[in-house]
Amino acid sequence: MTNLNQSSSRNILIKNQTQWNSLMRELEQSQVKWGGNVPISQGTPKYADHGSDTVITVEGDKVTYGRVENLAYPSLKFTDDNVTLVG
């Protein structure tokens, strides 16, 4: 299980659908929302949009995604067991 507290901004690198599904469950539980206002379970983003290049960016209670990391934030590699700092 990851530590997804809302106090820090970070990039989370996702490499497969299983990781996406696990992370979405954790984000839903941590009360963050897509764009800061749409619940995770009601959002339309999909892993297939960017595949193994997917980057989830968490900024406080706001979640966005795409292919590009926000270089101002640390990057974390999401695995099926945990999250590890990249670099």
- Could you read off the pLDDT of 36-79 as tens digits, one per residue? 999 999 998 899 999 999 999 999 999 999 999 889 899 888 77
Please indicate, yes or no, if residue 81 is contained in any of the structural domains.
yes
Does residue 46 fall inside a structural domain?
Answer: yes
d(CA 9, CA 27): 13
Domain around 78: 10-85
Neighbours of 46 (CB within 10 A): 12
Residue 4 belongs to some domain of the structure: no
Number of structural domains in the chain = 1
DSSP assignment of 61-82, as one string? TEEEEES---TTS-EEEE-SS-
Does residue 3 form part of some domain? Answer: no
What is residue 1's predicted lDDT score, i.e. its pLDDT? 39
Whether 20 maps to a domain, the answer reads yes
Residue 68 lies in a domain: yes
Residue 65 in tokens:
């995604």
Give Cα separations from 5 to 15, 17, 30, 51, 53 (angstroms).
22, 23, 7, 25, 24
**Domain-located, residue 5:** no
Report pLDDT for 67: 93
Residue 57 lies in a domain: yes
